[in-house]
Amino acid sequence: MHLPSTTALKALDAIARHGSISRAAAELYLTRSAVSHQIDSLERSLGFAVLEKVGRGIALTYRGERYMLEARRALSILEEAARRNANGAVAGRLRVSCMAGFAVYWLCQHLSAFHRAYPDVELSIATPQKGDEVNARDADLFVTYGTGKWPGFTVEPITSLSFFPVCSPTLLNARGSRLRPEDLADTLLLHMSNHDDWLLWLAGAGLQAIDGRRGIVFSDAPFAQQAAISGQGIAIGDTLLSGDALARGLLVRPFDVAIESQRGYYLVCTPERAERPDVRAFSDWLHGELGASLRSWAAPVRHHP
């Protein structure tokens, strides 16, 4: 039996993660036919099928799954060897899964700084398909939101949060009078994913009589915050996602009450990946760069007078 090429193993790994030859080809910068050729060659070499059709998609066979577990270990060893011998520089391919809100309102605004510091790291950013889901097949490192409990993974805190209502100064100016907490009863509320944040804030502010389930629910935080910036209503913001918009005056805090969140942002990865030089480089860079942002936002917070 001939040893398979690393290109074939990478193709199989990408197909296993994406469930699609086309998406695997896009990730590997290959044509679809080239990826199919790699898989055909691999199956001839192994003597068994590694892929099968499932509905309209494609998945690993049982034997393909078992083979992929060993192949991933081999790829990891080869990639680590390449990193350690890249003239002492941090290098490699780093796949980061990041929550949409964190990506839009902070990470995407700072990525060039990481590239300048680590030009030999090939960085790719994606958002998880489902909330705070952590799946080692999807990425090397996760920037995710939760309570910090991901059994079997290495978990590193990024920042804690407090949350509070935010809105556009235009919305407040259009009222012609000061917005009082009780006015929330007839103001459009903007929700992120569900009603929980508004319900918690209203309870913390002693405003349980106000119906916190009114308004519009958005699937992602950026949608709700952008609607607030556009003057459509009032959303629940937080110290991270709303920091830049508050500092620039795009948003203001109409009330002083802030609630400490029981959840926060974390870096999560498997223990074996936690010691990779590129993972450590990204972690160290993120902590330093984000810390600078948080300090700059700590200047006087804009409250509505």
What confidence category does residue 305 fall into, taking pLDDT thresholds of 50, 70 and 90?
A: very low
Residue range 187-214, pLDDT digits in tens? 999 998 899 999 999 999 999 899 999 9
- Residues near 154 by beta carbon (within 8 Å), at least 6 away in sequence: 268, 269, 270, 271, 273, 274
Residues 132 and 188 in one domain: yes
Question: Given the structure tokens 């700059």, which residue do they identify?
Answer: 296
177 and 69 inside one domain: no
In this structure, the answer to whether residues 80 and 120 fall within a common structural domain is no
- pLDDT value at residue 45: 84
Same domain for 71 and 6: yes
Helix (H) or strand (E) holding 96: strand 92-98
Domain coverage including residue 219: 89-305
CB-CB contact of 190 with 215 (8 Å): yes
pLDDT at 301: 46
**Cα 239–244–247 angle (5° rounding)?**
95
Question: Which of 53, 85, 117 delimits the end of a domain?
Answer: 85
The per-residue pLDDT for range 266-300, each reduced to its tens digit, is: 999 999 898 899 999 999 999 989 988 888 887 54
73 and 98 share one domain: no
Q: Is pLDDT larger for residue 2 or for residue 34?
A: 34
Number of domains in the chain: 2
3-class DSSP assignment, residue 56: coil
| 134 and 210, same domain (yes or no) | yes
Return the bridge partners of 123, or none.
Answer: 94
Do 125 and 76 share a domain, yes or no?
no
* Among candidate residues 32, 65, 85, the one where a domain is terminated: 85
Rounded to whole angstroms, how far apart are CA atoms 134 and 25? 23
The domain that contains 6 carries what CATH number?
A: 1.10.10.10
Q: Alpha-carbon distance 276 to 272, whole Å? A: 8
